[in-house]
Structure 1
Amino acid sequence: MVFNTKAFDPVTNVPDYNITIDEINLKVSELIEKGKSVHDQVASIPIQDVTFDNVIVPLATYENESMVDYSTITFLQHVSPDKSLRDASMEAEKKLEDFQIDCQMRRDVYKVVEALFLNKKSWENRCHEDKRLLDKMELSFRRNGLDLSDDDLEKLMSVKKKLSELSITFGRNIAEGDAQVTFTLEDLDGLPEDFINSKKKVKCGDEDKYIVTTKYPDLFAVLRMAKRESTRKTLLLAEETRCKENIEILTEACILRLRAAKFENILQSLLEPLAEKEIDSLIQLKKDGKFLISSSENLYSWDSKYYLRILKENLFNIDDEEVKQYFSISQVTAGLLETFENMLGLTFTQIDNSNGWHKDATLYSVTDTETKDFVGHFWMDLHPREGKYNHAACWSLRPGYTKSDGSREYPISGIVANFSEPTENKPSLLKHDEVVTFFHEFGHVMHGICSKTKWSRMHGTSVETDFVEAPSQMLENWCWEPEVLQKFGKHYLTGEPIPEQLVAQLVKTKNLGAGLGNLRQIFFGMFDMGIHNVENEDIDVNETFSSLRKQICKIDSGNEKTWPAATFGHMMGGYDSGYYGYMWSDVFSADMFYSRFKKQGLFNKKSGMDYRNEILAPGGSRDAMDSLVAFLGREPEMGPFLRSIGMK
């Protein structure tokens, strides 16, 4: 496919996120008015006159052009520092999602699309992506129940709108429902000085206490480092007992999904013996008096990270606090960008831009290193703040597509993360697992930026559910390669490179806890299926979560009453009935890494460009299996995945 790459100003090609509530509401009205006009126009076409150009092109063009404004105004609910703007953005998304459901369930539009679909001669000479687009549109209408009776269709539409509303509210509750606990300095024994110094201090009677939140930088630090079991337990219970209102929302959503529509067993059996050995090792550590500031010798969910850290220190002489001194966020960012510039033949340039949603949001332009052609933009917003999305994720802020004049609309992606904030004395220092998270999310960015499709519906991560995570999981592997870590791992004070011996020991820890970690992923997949693959509406989300966690993960919260499913955002964020895809994606990503990059070289130019052209560029314009075969030269195999977790 040839794209018109006529010159334009990259800076002015970026949406302005400094918008008002009135502007948000106006954009919503304009999007709905324009969309209704397009769908009315298509529905009015006589059946005998339908063509690809007068049916599919107008619908797909509206999708293309509306996505910029849609993404801009709905994204603000996750990142804006202004609560009123976040509220307006959420309400805007509800209205737009309702309208989209109305459009997807218009019988008059479907009749026209169906007539075209059945008249194969009129479109059999179109390009592959055009034909795939028509297939996807027709299938989407059918899956939305357009062959149902009018009464049943109306009921289904009501269900879908309610599900959309529940999903938006669920995510907002998680973002704004952070819990916080006050601890004494003694309670925080084991936490490093920079952690303590970053916490707000309050007076409780005559003593000073420190405010610790359930945001990930705080939660994970306490679970790994706090010596007192009571401290770890208190904070984890605060995390697992927040957003209680979401349990009712998730339960209602499961019931609604049941009304709308009703590999991992083998892998579980392989992992269980490994996990049992890991649990035995952790229990022995807990029983050892020198590590015990505890009320029980049983192993609970608030113990696993703490004793895994100690096990890592004992077995490999690795101290996370020592390691992070070499991973300041500026060094990691520079190293990450250099790594994938070399791998993918791209050049990343930070741009001074005032159109962002917050001072922490930085903007980069992407160009092809060889041709100098512009490729796209991405944002990075890496530190926590009140009301912000509190995990790590990547958003497609604008999918790329070909405009009607042949020029290209260039993609924009955005990383949102919650890495530790800098203090007065230290920059933001990342633990190694945070470095892995950073690389993972950047994998999604590259999928969005490098994708080149004709239609926005096919762009980037618009692939099969069990392939969405593969490109991001694949990039995690570079975080375990000494030659990569030693390029950007430099002590934040001295600039000295991370010692070879330290890197060697760090790499050895890659599969520590692999049994428990992968069983946890299987548990999430089984929980997902457990609350959706049922015969009636008597769904107990909490009981399903608790029983499966105990059965599969082998570690739970004992007799404590918690509701951690309330903050399991994937169940209301598009992975419902599809969380198993994380494990399948791991199989694909491991095969891609070991079969090409590990074998041919981490920065082998042919492997890098093949990956860019065969995996990233096609997006969803062809089946993921076709992309994998094109890159691997064969269908994917399980062996590399088992090797990657130390089981082969």
Structure 2
Amino acid sequence: MTNSTALVLHYDVPNYKLSAADIKEISKKLVSEKKALYDRIAEMNPEDATFDNVVGALAMYDNQSYVDYSTIAFLQHVSADKDIRDASTEAEQMLEEFYIETRMRKDVYQVVKHLFENTDKWAHITGEDRRLFTKTELEYRRDGLALNNEDGDKLKEILKRISELAIKFSKNINEGDAEILFTKEQLDGLPDDFFEGRPTKIENGIDHFVVTTKYPDLFAVLKSANNELTRKNLVILDERKCKENNDILAEVIKLRLRAAKLLGYKSHAEFVLEEKMAKNIPSVVNFENDLINLLNPLADKEIEMLTALKEKHLGYPKDKEASKIYSWDIQYYFRLLKEQLYDINEQQIKEYFSMEQVTKGILDIFQKMLGLIFTEMPNSNAWHSDVKLYQVNDAKSKVLVGHFWMDLFPRDGKYNHAACWPLRPGFDNLDGTRSYPVCAIVANFTKPTATKPSLLKHDEVVTYFHEFGHVMHGICSLTKWSRFHGTNVESDFVEAPSQMLENWCWEPKVLQSFSKHYVTGEPIPESIVKNLIDAKNVNAGIFNLRQIFFGVFDMTVHSTETEDIDILGIYSSLRKNICKVDLGDINTWPVATFGHILGGYDAGYYGYLWSQVFSADMFENRFKKDGVSNDCTGLEYRYQILQPGGSRDAKDSLYQFLGRNPDNKAFLKSIGMK
């Protein structure tokens, strides 16, 4: 980290130390302010409407209200106080219902429509303002404001119900972690630090360790537990969580289809894709089918290798069914395969990746690459004592760029994956001043113990880089309106910048720059780094087919034109056919914890691989070609990809950075295909 006496420290960050009463009061204020604005516009003589007093006024309210809204909605995911989480959930649900009401106000739409149809009144509007106006008018139509009153009322009720169900779905996942008891013998193979500080319970007179379905526990057991039944039981427990979410998802899928048909679309996917880079269902289906055909031979070879390894490991059992590869085997035998082929020992490797060293490495790399300075700040406004706050300044001008929080360790009731939250977008205020962005990276890395710091497996380091990529997108963006700030790009591009930054985790010099043994301080040996990189694509076929499966499932249930679908049956069938591995005949419902499908990735999960094409192209043909430490390339990336946010189409940003339209050659190369 770098500190500079030339910097001015800014403490202008939202306060997250709110009570349940505070949350309720803020939500009331948001409602009253928005209602007053919409009433004023609705009462306006349409002839008096201008860009500034209608579209600009609506967008300025969005700018200023975003902070309060995101603060109270965010706390349900991170607060250690259940009362706060419940208040946050209730407030978000109330606000979403109210916002749906306001979005559906025809009296306001009529003013916007009148202005839009009188092109001479806004012909002078250019750039980001013009984009805002056209997007706003399109959004009103997509919200159903052009519908008759009866259909409009139907749509309003549908959207309210979807919002209510999505919030319940997310809450169930956040609070739905399960636990199971295992003896030390059943956990044979787990490293000593897995047991340090772990709660125990006595069952049948025997000490058992408590193992949860939180990511650090789940992945550790699936990779290292020698007892197949232990791995199997934990996977079954994990895939049987949140059963009530099955009915919630089924209802949402039906409601989304009804809403799409009311708006004149054949399916929800057709509706969603209108605003994405892919544009239509056939483009996505062809993309996914092409990848399936390319990856199938690779995955078949991987299954053969894993099956042979399992047979050998079990002593060549006569019953071939015993050596069949199931979901609970994949990570375990891939680990063994990496150990045998490349001498990869994940327990040994993570000793070189302490949280302190990895964090320092990430901050150093991105400061230099993007021309920034990060300074740790007091966290007096934080939601938990574990959280750290950083200020970001431009390295050359020293001007403020923004702030970000880091909340990296698991705790009860906390969001249980890894994600980045844009807590305040950057935007221009009416008085000409600037409001600077605030982001938060929320993760669940292994906590430090009394004898060891937090040690990260290499794939956790990759996750850390990925989420920090989202943070940089949110921090480095510079737009006039919050509507276009940072990650507010087409959702099938939003992952590309963060995926691109994962590549730094596979560069030998980069890894060696921040990996030091937590005891000896020795840098990671070159031989280990070489083997780690050589083993990168050992599971590329199965891993990418699994990603495609989620995308195909998502697109299948959302492109249907009938409500009569069997969601669990579709999930099970597609997983068996595409992933090549599953749980056999065991009945589970992992779709109940597929948070993306109700968390903004509906008819959009394909975007993870779609955007991977762009990320690979950017890295291979700019950073790899120019040098990963090339400051000029890093700054160009900051200004051409991160800074515009959604103020222009992603394809235009890509063209500016690449000097051409992107292609998939680098992506195929990156997964070992060509």
TM-score tier after normalising by the smaller chain length? over 0.9
Task: Give, in angstroms, the shift of residue 12 of structure 1.
Answer: 3.1
Q: Deviations over 1:571-628 (max 9, x none)?
A: 0100001111111110000000001000001021111011000000000000000000
Deviations 1:304-354 (A, max 9, x none): 111111111111011000100000001000001101111100111111121
Task: State the secondary structure of the residue aligned to 1:197.
Answer: coil
Amino acid at match of 1:265: N
> Structure 2 counterpart of 1:608, which letter?
G
1:448 equivalent among 449, 458, 474: 474
Partner AA of 1:511 in structure 2: N
Matched, 1:19 2:45: no
1: CA distance between counterparts of 2:111 and 2:96?
A: 23
Tell me whether 1:464 sits opposite 2:463 in the alignment.
Answer: no
**Post-superposition offset of 1:286:** 0.8
Residue of structure 2 equivalent to 1:265: 289
Superposed CA offset, 1:160-206 (max 9, x none)? 01111111111110110101000000100010000022421111122
The 5-angstrom pairing of residues 68-467 of structure 1 reads: 68-261=67-260, 262=267, 263-289=287-313, 296-467=322-493
CA distance in 1, matches of 2:558, 2:78: 31
- Offset of 1:290 from its aligned partner? 5.2
CA displacement at 1:48 relative to structure 2: 1.6
Correspondence 1:479-494 to 2 at 5 A: 479-494=505-520
SS in 1 for 2:492: helix
Tell me, in whole angstroms, the C-alpha distance in 1 between the residues paired with 2:197 and 2:299: 35
- The alpha-carbon deviation at position 509 of structure 1 amounts to 1.2
What's the secondary structure of 2:406's corresponding residue? Answer: strand
Answer whether contact 1:18 1:355 (CA < 8 A) is retained.
yes
Residue 20 of structure 2 aligns with an amino acid whose one-letter code is I
Name the SS for the 2:518 alignment partner: coil
Q: Is 1:619 matched up with 2:645?
A: yes
Q: Helix, strand or coil: the match of 2:414?
A: coil
Letter in structure 1 aligned against 2:173: I
Can you list the C-alpha shifts for 1:12-31, whole angstroms capped at 9, x where unaligned? 30111111111111111110
Structure 1 window deviating more from structure 2 (528-537 vs 70-79): it is: 528-537
State the distance in 2 between where 1:51 and 1:473 align.
Answer: 41
Aligned-pair distance for 1:289? 3.5
Alpha carbons 2:617, 2:664 under 8 Å: kept = yes
Shift of 1:118: 1.7
The range that moved more, 106-115 or 173-182, is 106-115
Q: Report the counterpart of residue 3 of structure 1 in structure 2.
A: none
Is the alpha carbon distance of 1:292 and 1:545 closer, same or farther for their aligned partners in structure 2, counting shifts above 3 Å?
Answer: farther
**1:126 CA drift (Å):** 2.0
- Once residues 379 and 32 of structure 1 are traced to their aligned partners in structure 2, the CA distance between those partners, rounded to angstroms, is 28
Deviates more, 1:142-151 or 1:531-540: 531-540
The alpha-carbon distance between structure 1 residues 443 and 417, as it changes in their structure 2 partners (threshold 3 A), is same
C-alpha distance in 1 between matches for 2:104 and 2:44: 18
Aligned to 2:536: 510
> Aligned equivalents of 2:652 and 2:43: distance in 1?
37
| 1:565 to 2:591 alignment | yes
- Superposed CA deviations along residues 73-111 of structure 1, whole A, max 9, x for unmatched, are 110000000000000000010011111111111111111
Is this contact kept in 2: 1:376–1:410, CA < 8 A? yes
- Cα 1:584/1:289, change in 2 over 3 Å: closer
**Count of aligned positions:** 642
Give, in whole Å, the separation in 2 of the partners of 1:47 and 1:180: 60
- Contact 1:254–1:539 (8 Å) recurs in 2: no
| Higher deviation after alignment, 618-627 or 103-112 | 103-112
Question: Is 2:672 the counterpart of 1:639?
Answer: no
Distance across 1 between alignment mates of 2:123 and 2:99:
29
Any idea what SS the aligned residue of 1:415 has? strand
Q: Distance in 1 between matches of 2:224 and 2:530?
A: 23
Distance of 1:9 and 1:171 partners within structure 2: 39
1:327 and 1:491 in contact (8 A); partners too = yes
Q: C-alpha separation between the residues in 2 aligned to 1:164 and 1:413?
A: 24
Unaligned 5+ residue runs, structure 2? 1-5, 261-266, 268-286
Coordinate RMSD, CA, aligned: 1.4
Q: How far 1:534 sits from its partner (Å)? A: 1.2
Residue deviations 1:90-137, cap 9 Å, x none?
Answer: 001001111111111111111111111122222222231000000111
Whether the 8 Å CA contact 1:285–1:291 is kept in 2: the answer is no
Compare 185-194 and 38-47 and name the one that shifted more: 38-47
Which residue of structure 1 lines up, in the alignment, with residue 263 of structure 2?
A: none
| Residue identity opposite 2:150 in structure 1 | D
User: Which whole-Å deviations, capped at 9, do the CAs of 1:464-503 have from their partners, x for residues lacking one?
Assistant: 0110100010000000001110000000001000001111
Within 2, Cα distance between the matches of 1:11 and 1:640? 41
Contact between 2:423 and 2:439, CA under 8 Å: does it hold in 1?
yes
Question: Residue in 1 aligned with 2:284?
Answer: none
CA distance in 2, matches of 1:97, 1:20: 20
Shift of 1:539: 2.4
TM-score of the superposition, structure 2-length normalised? 0.94
